[in-house]
Structure 1
Amino acid sequence: MRNRKPGIAESATGVGRQLPAHADLNLLRTFLAVYRAGTFTAAAPALGLSQPTVTAQIRTLEQQTGRELFTRLPRGVEPTPYAHEIAARVAGPLDALAGLEDTGAVTAPVHLAGPSELLCVRVLPALVPLVADGVELRVTQGLPEPLLEEMRSGRHDLVIATRRPRGRALESVPLADEEYLLVASPAWAERVAGHREADDLCAALREVPMVTYAEDLPIVRRYWRTVFGKQLTARAAVTVPNLYAVLSAVNAGAGYSVLPRSLCEEHLASGRLTLLHEPEEPPLNTLFLVQRPGAETNPHVLRVRDTLRRAARTW
């Protein structure tokens, strides 16, 4: 009597007693991606699938096995003990099979997020060679906390944040220190220099309009506190949506502000802006590169991450 031909699940994974012989390799790949990513949403782009499709495939595999694979949580999923056992057995064979597949297969885009000004001035120029080499980027701008919350739900692979994320769920490394400068147009700089209280810069600036991107003046207040050792009492004359608008308004002569060096150094070099103050220790803000758990399964995420870390040495 001839031996029975092993099914896909048995021949590829060696777990025939636990998985049905007709288990689809695509379902197992989806299972492993969700297991590693921790959320259905995060696994979807890595697989090139929609989130509902990933959910449906996991449900199908659970029906085939007759066992629950993941416990649904408010944020993501937690593998069951059965899922841990299955993952331990299928990961090696599936990774080996993936290595034998067509090397020209499409890799999922890298979802990158951070402050809009930094993305435009520093990040995207650094990544141009990767784009030319076939890496696809999906770039989102925003504030740190909303972006990190979206990363926890699986929306972003990498986030550049101006503060380290709380907790240990998200891995982060210092990327670079951003220097902040007190600047104004040359006309306002001359008026400040000729002010009767020019020796007291804070007093001289009371008669100069302030431009900021938020009513609570976060950058300017921090500059005053760290450089002058004083609380800022002035109100903004002009409030605009972002730092690009602050730069535009100050460059046009609307008043003074505090801006990142990366954003205004070209204007300083050309004389369109003037540095109002050169403290011995200018205030710095550390940028952090945050990576979503499971994102390393996409090799292009690792290429983007490593390229940014190298480029940031010169920022």
Structure 2
Amino acid sequence: MEITLYQVRTFLEVVRTGSITRAGRNLGYSQSTAAAHIRALESQVGASLFQRLYHGVRPTPDGETFHGYAVRLLGLVDELTTSLAGGREVSGRVSVGASPLSVDQELTRLVWECRYRYPKVELAPAGMDSQRITEEISAGRLDMGLILEPPNRGVNVPAGLNIEDLRFVDVVAVAGREFLGLLEETSEGNTENPLIERQAKARNSTVRLLHVDSDDSSLEKFRAAIEGAYSLRTEFMSIASVQGALELLRNGPCIAVLPRESVAREIESGEAGVVAGMPGERRVVRMVWNQQTWLPPALAATLELARRIGPPAVTVA
């Protein structure tokens, strides 16, 4: 019996995804090549390993038996590889998707730490909305992702993905120095020059609520609080990054809900400030990656590094 490791890896990926086509795509093969791997494997073991269904495949009883041995086999190969590698440096390329609210802190921190600890690992960062990150990882086009979500939000990700909470981040409603002063005057009851009239002279009577991540469903709560506290009309405006939001805060009647640590320097300098009376929120940084029996060393090292660069997210009862 001559069973090759690439056949075993294809087998395990087909079991994980339930699809020969998807398994081939994830491993960099065409559908026909992945199917050929399975046929050759079945020929070698003398048994049918998968039951072909209308939508995908599932292991036969013989396939379930083979799966247990396949996992053990690749585990031994990984141990052998690690043992022989000795002190050699980890190398490889890892693509990392980050939601807009996590780019400036989480992704930047990860990139710098990786350069220092694993100089031969190339991180390929990409900014995109949280939902797209999970879709790209599920499709095999991204290795891992970093997203920012409310901790009590149900994690809505496709089957076959791993999710791990890393740490908590506080988000606050912030405005630029000039506009913050107008809000404070209004809250103190200064009606000699009403806020809406002063805004109209400068630009218009509508405050822009800057929308950095389109998957952030909690902004409606901030919108209701802002309109209720200051009698303002608001409209959402989509911005691609935290830095873009800060630039708009400096130049007009805008409010943005951002991680406090991302605007700490601007708050300390007085360039921006937290809007009084607005509810703060806690978010959790979540790391997402594909479930795999075998993790490439570069990806395994990057995942472990992401766990170490911030305090763990421990939920307090």
In 2, are the aligned partners of 1:188 and 1:208 still within 8 Å (CA)?
A: no
Distance apart, 1:249 and its partner CA: 1.0
In 2, are the aligned partners of 1:211 and 1:254 still within 8 Å (CA)?
A: no
CA distance in 1 between counterparts of 2:50 and 2:230 reads: 52
For structure 1, which runs of at least 5 residues remain unmatched after alignment?
1-20
Distance apart, 1:188 and its partner CA: 1.6
**What is the TM-score of this pair, normalised by structure 2?**
0.69
Secondary structure of the 1:209 match is strand
Secondary structure of the 2:109 match is helix
Bigger shift: 260-269 or 24-33?
24-33
The 5 Å alignment of 1:281-300 reads: 282-294=280-292, 297-300=295-298
Per the alignment, do residues 211 and 228 of structure 1 end up closer, same or farther by CA in structure 2, a change over 3 Å counting?
closer
Partner of 2:41: 61
The 5 Å alignment of 1:130-279 reads: 130-132=114-116, 133=118, 134-161=120-147, 162=149, 163-166=153-156, 170-195=161-186, 197-198=187-188, 209-213=207-211, 218=217, 220-225=219-224, 234-236=233-235, 238-277=237-276
**What is the TM-score of this pair, normalised by structure 1?**
0.70
Matching of residue 80 in structure 1 with residue 60 in structure 2? yes
In 1, are the aligned partners of 2:26 and 2:140 still within 8 Å (CA)?
A: no
- Structure 1 vs Structure 2 CA RMSD: 4.2
Per the alignment, do residues 146 and 66 of structure 1 end up closer, same or farther by CA in structure 2, a change over 3 Å counting?
farther
The letter for the 1-side match of 2:280 is P
Per the alignment, do residues 97 and 275 of structure 1 end up closer, same or farther by CA in structure 2, a change over 3 Å counting?
closer
Relative to its length, the structure with more strand (as a share) is: 2
The letter for the 2-side match of 1:262 is E
In 1, are the aligned partners of 2:170 and 2:282 still within 8 Å (CA)?
A: yes
Partner of 2:303: 305
Distance apart, 1:118 and its partner CA: 0.9
CA distance in 1 between counterparts of 2:216 and 2:231 reads: 9
| Equivalent in 70, 89, 108 of residue 124 of structure 1 | 108
CA distance in 2 between counterparts of 1:265 and 1:139 reads: 24
CA distance in 2 between counterparts of 1:78 and 1:269 reads: 58
The letter for the 2-side match of 1:26 is Y
Distance apart, 1:282 and its partner CA: 1.8
Secondary structure of the 1:313 match is coil
Deviations 1:228-287 (A, max 9, x none): 9889972327554454432221123353332222332222223322333266x6222233
CA distance in 2 between counterparts of 1:229 and 1:129 reads: 43
In 2, are the aligned partners of 1:41 and 1:155 still within 8 Å (CA)?
A: no
Q: Which has the higher contact order (CA 8 A, sep 6+)?
A: 2
Partner of 2:202: none
Secondary structure of the 2:233 match is coil
The letter for the 2-side match of 1:209 is V
The letter for the 2-side match of 1:187 is E
CA distance in 1 between counterparts of 2:89 and 2:122 reads: 13
Secondary structure of the 1:312 match is coil
Secondary structure of the 2:121 match is coil
The structure whose Rg is larger is 1
Aligned length: 290
In 1, are the aligned partners of 2:12 and 2:293 still within 8 Å (CA)?
A: no
